[in-house]
Chains A and B, each alone.
Chain A
């Protein structure tokens, strides 16, 4: 956090006016970027520059800027969320880049996530998958005491790990098949691991997978790329659990 030399960078940024229009890369340069800035702060500098020049700023999704809301995306130098590990783009810091470097910035590219504008994509398919079964069917009120059913710590911890998914879509963007299996598996696993969610585990797995297929996401061929790029380190062991639940559901049919 001390005084460090600023970075001068060339940026190749994907610009696209709308979903139906053709996109292209535009080249910009930014100078004297603090290595302690976040990547999105660097983008802020670029946009400030563009606005003052009377140009249209680059549209990108972001909100909490602390790695938890899942709103930010960006494919940076060929990696979802950029070159650092276990971070979202908003937590990626400029110290990971070298002075003089050319940085290529693209939107998530996947059939399931059409581009809306520039670097913003439409991830509403994830909401649709959730609405198909990503819940435990309980209404507000009339539930038992929180301690009525003891849950082994190991199961609670494992459920928590699966529940860490932020729904950013890096797994889909990075998968050569555009599969949403890691996203679906994380939710199915979390709820199947808990006694409260066990009750409708099979039904949940079946309906979420059916919705995922319907929305045009690809199949999983176990390349493991999703796990590598996941900013929250969601394990592909969850996919194995999803497959098990799905098979059970099919057997019960």
Chain B
């Protein structure tokens, strides 16, 4: 089994990527046509990678479970994308973006990867502009910027509150162009069910056609997983309903290591839960914290009166409002990183100052409207305000928004080296699906940056470096040998699910899993709770395999079967997350162990023991995984406690 070699290139940090590119292997144009690449996922990372591979001349197959590549969940990102352009002349630089990202990630990311990310961030903006992405502009015609959490500069580029949509449509346009040219073959409504490993190398995937139910194998010289995160293990999250961790999980079960599964981002500004039929949570962009002020009542009796419906937020005078982020973190105020803002909201609500159900705080635009006028606020956030109103039936121009933290993003994922290659040669992972760049907490507007960096500017180099040695591997027949064997295993798995013939719906199990995860592996964790979570998940998994009901047949469009396959994986992944959280006896970023906090309630890292990436190796569903450690060496950033005060 592979050992963890991060393959960081030699030389000073700022020259590593250039060194890599100068010395990597290339494939000549005539040979590129002979090499096949599979990309699973069509979001920012997958779409950008597939398009770019196609442009370079490789033979590409791209897979998406939705009906079109344009539906990938990258589309829902609202606020923006970071880049170190320093257009506002406010002191930004590649180094500063790198440093902020390492610090924001609570010193749990690999320096070399993060530096490369900051380095290529500027190329992304140029690329998107060239594709026709309509970024917001100033009256002089130049690009506009705004601020996001964890930074003291304005480096976030945006397109209204729909930046993810516009970037994804840019990548989708580039991908469509290649589909039209025939360099990329797109498989929509097709789900990856497994990977095919031959002699230790990934040689393809097995898929299920979600319309006909047909299971088949596909060969490729290299496979890229760009399948997003696993936040839906919590059932309620800001992820799309179909977002799932299955591709990553199948790869894990075939030998790819899974890194830092316990690092989950809880976004501070989401619309609170309305009731038991709630199917997902809606995010309100972090950009709102540029102008909105977060508060709860200063007096407990006011909070109680609001919860009882006797007082309205407008009735509370300014002196009785506790702007707790501004109070606790004067330097960054409302723009502290997400993990810090989420915990602060939880602290206020736990202490009895929450509003509505008790699990909500205010995000108030009264002050911004007074300062800037309604028109400016509307121009900046109009579509977000409209979305809020449609969901809650309340007008945020008149009354403060109510928000509460919700599961949003998973920093953990498949372990990859500097080349974004997993521990299985020929299998690469990009975007949210890998663990690489955000450490224990991702900064706002950095997911879009990472997805596009991986897809446009990293994989096209590193996959090529791998493929240069694969020139003499002939195309294999995907109906024979290991391909056929894997297809049979997938079919057997589907049969097993169909044959449970129990009484309970897939969703009922998913909701119960979500509750265990939220209660014990959520915003605050402790040893006792995590041990309990492991036992409860194991019991729930057993119950699932004896009592789940999937109507219909596997040879047709069968939504319940799709969900069952994903939930079966979540029921294993959830346990690994709890195990990882249990073993990591420190608090860092989104991982908060109650046993490890400063007297002020801030996350307390234990650097001498845990300054490493925890990468897990699969040994069997019901046996304990093996932990491998990649030590994190900090040459440029000194390990200090994060301070946003």
Spell out A's residues near B (CB within 8 Å).
Answer: 1-2, 18, 33-34, 36-38, 40-42, 44-45, 47-48, 50-52, 54-57, 59, 61-71, 84, 86-87, 91, 93, 95, 116-117, 120, 122-124, 126-127, 130-141, 143-147, 150-153, 156-157, 159-160, 163-164, 166-167, 190-191, 194, 196-197
Bound complex: CA of A123 vs CA of B66, how far in Å? 11
Point out the residues of chain B lying under 8 angstroms from A152, CB to CB.
137, 141
Residues of B within 8 A of A (CB): 48, 51-52, 55, 66-73, 75-76, 85, 87, 123, 125-132, 134-143, 159-160, 162, 164-166, 169, 172-174, 176-177, 179-180, 186, 188, 211, 238, 240-242, 272, 274-275, 277-280, 282-283, 309, 356, 386-387, 390-394, 402, 456-457, 460, 503-505, 507-508, 549, 551-552, 556-557, 559-560
Partner of A146, one of B68, B85, B238, B552: B85
Task: Tell me which residues across on chain B come within 8 A of A65, comparing CB atoms.
Answer: 240-241, 279-280, 282
Name 9 extra pairs, CB < 8 A, besides A61-B67, A153-B137. A41-B277, A52-B503, A91-B387, A135-B177, A138-B130, A140-B457, A146-B143, A150-B140, A152-B137
**B139 near A153 (CB under 8 angstroms)?**
yes
Q: Would you mind naming 16 contact pairs between A and B with Cβ atoms under 8 Å apart?
A: A41-B277, A44-B277, A52-B503, A65-B241, A69-B76, A127-B176, A127-B179, A134-B176, A135-B177, A139-B55, A146-B129, A150-B141, A152-B141, A153-B139, A159-B132, A196-B129
- Asked if residues A156 and B279 are in contact (CB atoms below 8 Å), the reply is no
Interface centre among A41, A65, A66, A153 (most CB of B within 10 A): A66
Which of these, B55, B87, B356, contacts A1 with CB under 8 Å?
Answer: B356
Residues of B within 8 A of A116 (CB): 211, 557
Could you tell me the distance between the alpha carbons of A91 and B75 in the complex, rounded to whole angstroms? Answer: 16
Nearest opposing residue in chain B for A162, CB measure: B134
Contacts of A57 in B (CB 8 A): 551, 559-560
Contact A120 B557, beta carbon cutoff 8 Å: yes
Once bound together, how far apart are the Cα atoms of A124 and B131, in whole Å?
A: 22
**A147 and B143 in contact, given A65-B279, A140-B460 (Cβ under 8 angstroms):** yes
Q: Shortest distance in angstroms between A159's beta carbon and chain B's nearest beta carbon?
A: 4
The reply to whether A48 and B507 contact each other, CB–CB distance below 8 Å, is yes
Q: Across the interface, do B68 and A64 meet the contact criterion of CB distance under 8 Å?
A: no
Residues on A with C-beta less than 8 A from B283 are: 66
Contacts of B85 in A (CB 8 A): 146
Among the listed B129, B134, B162, which residue makes an inter-chain contact with A143, where contact means beta carbons less than 8 Å apart?
B129
Nearest chain-A residue to B161 (Cβ)? Answer: A68
In the assembled complex, the Cα of A71 lies from the Cα of B189 at a distance in Å of 12
Known contacts A59-B557, A135-B174, A153-B137; is-contact A146 B70 (Cβ 8 Å): no
Q: Specify which of A2, A135, A163 is in contact with B134 (CB 8 Å cutoff).
A: A163
Contact A196 B560 (CB under 8 A): no
Q: In the complex where A63-B66, A70-B70, A140-B457 touch, is A190 in contact with B188 (Cβ < 8 A)?
A: no
Contact A131 to B557, CB < 8 A, known contacts A84-B390, A139-B55, A146-B85: no
The reply to whether A68 and B177 form a contact with Cβ atoms under 8 Å apart is no
CB distance from A188 to the nearest CB of B (A): 11
**Given A55-B551, A63-B240, A135-B176, A140 and B67 contact (CB-CB distance below 8 Å):** no
The answer to whether B188 touches A124 (Cβ under 8 A) is yes
A147 engages B67 (CB within 8 Å) = no
In-complex Cβ contact of B275 among A36, A51, A134, A146 (8 A):
A36
In angstroms, Cα B238 to Cα A56, docked, is 28
Find out whether the CB atom of B131 lies under 8 angstroms from the CB atom of A45: no
Provide the residues of chain A in CB contact with B560, threshold 8 Å: 51, 57
Per the bound structure, the CA–CA distance linking A197 and B69 in Å amounts to: 22
CB nearest neighbor in A for B280: A65
Q: In whole Å, how far is B39's beta carbon from the nearest beta carbon of chain A? A: 14
Q: A199–B549 Cα gap in the complex (Å)?
A: 56
A33–B277 alpha-carbon span in the complex (Å): 9
CA distance A50 to B549 in the complex (A): 11
Q: Which interface residue of B186, B280, B556 has the most chain A CB atoms within 10 A?
A: B280
Q: Which residue of chain A is the closest to B282 with respect to CB atoms?
A: A66
From B123, B165, B172, B180, give the contact of A141 (CB < 8 A).
B123
Shortest distance between the CB of B398 and any CB in chain A (Å): 15
For A37, the chain B residues whose CB sits under 8 A away are 274-275, 277-278
Is A117 a contact partner of B557 (Cβ separation < 8 A)?
yes
Q: Which residues of chain B come closer than 8 Å to A167, judged between CB atoms? A: 68, 70
Most chain B CB atoms below 10 A, which of A126, A144, A194: A194
Candidate in B166, B176, B456 with the most chain A CB atoms within 10 angstroms: B176
Q: Which residues of B contact A146 (CB under 8 A)?
A: 85, 125-126, 128-129, 135, 143
Point out which of B87, B139, B180 has the most chain A C-beta atoms below 10 A from its C-beta: B180
- Once the chains bind, are A52 and B186 in contact (CB under 8 Å)? no
CA A215 to CA B630, docked complex, whole Å: 54
Q: Are B73 and A87 in touch, CB under 8 angstroms?
A: no
Q: In the complex, what distance in Å separates the CA atom of A172 from the CA atom of B507?
A: 33
* Given A156-B136, A160-B134, A197-B132; A130-B67 close (CB under 8 Å): no
Q: Within the complex, what minimum Cβ distance (angstroms) separates A187 from chain B?
A: 8
Q: Which 3 pairs from chain A and chain B are nearest by CB? A: A150-B141, A131-B180, A143-B130
- In the bound complex, CA of A147 to CA of B393 (Å): 40
Q: In this complex, what residue of B is CB-closest to A160?
A: B134
B293 to chain A, nearest CB (A): 21
Quote the shortest CB–CB distance from A76 to chain B (angstroms). Answer: 15
Task: Report which residue of B85, B138, B177, B356 has the largest number of chain A beta carbons within 10 angstroms of its beta carbon.
Answer: B177
Verify B505–A56 contact, CB threshold 8 A.
Answer: no
From B131, B142, B176, B277, contact of A130 by CB (8 A): B176
Neighbouring B residues of A70 by C-beta, 8 Å: 70-71
Which of A51, A52, A144 has the most CB atoms of chain B within a 10 A radius of its CB? A51
**Shortest beta-carbon distance from B569 to chain A in Å:** 18
B123 touches A71 (CB 8 A): no
Q: How far is the CB of A90 from chain B (nearest CB, A)?
A: 9
CA distance A68 to B549 in the complex (A): 31
B49: nearest residue on chain A (CB-CB)? A140
Instruction: Tell me whether B173 and A140 are in contact (CB under 8 A).
Output: no
Q: Which residues does chain B contribute within 8 Å of A132, judged by CB atoms?
A: 180
What are the residues of chain B within 8 A of A131 when measuring CB–CB?
176-177, 179-180
CA distance A192 to B302 in the complex (A): 55
State whether B456 touches A140 (Cβ < 8 A): yes
B549: nearest chain-A partner, CB-CB:
A51
CB distance from B230 to the nearest CB of A (A): 16
Complex Cα spacing A65 to B272, Å: 15
Contact indicator A126/B387 (Cβ below 8 Å): no
Contact yes or no, A71 B52, CB < 8 A? no
Contact of A127 with B241 in the complex, beta carbons under 8 Å: no
**Cα(A63)–Cα(B65), bound, Å:** 10
Q: Give B4 Cβ to nearest chain A Cβ, in Å.
A: 30
Q: A57-B559, A93-B393 are in contact. Are A66 and B387 (CB under 8 A)?
A: yes
Partner of A71, one of B67, B179, B309, B552: B67
Tell me, in angstroms, the Cα distance from A134 to B134 when the chains sit together: 15
**Contact present for B277 and A87 (CB under 8 Å):** no
Contact of B137 among A95, A151, A196 (CB under 8 A): A151
Other-chain residue from B73, B130, B503 in contact with A64 (beta carbon distance below 8 A): B73
| A-side contacts of B132, CB under 8 Å | 135-136, 159, 190-191, 194, 196-197
A141 to B128, CA, bound (A): 10
Q: A127 touching B169 by the CB < 8 A rule? A: no
Tell me whether A69 and B123 are in contact in the complex, defined as CB-CB below 8 angstroms, given that A131-B180, A147-B143 are known contacts.
Answer: no
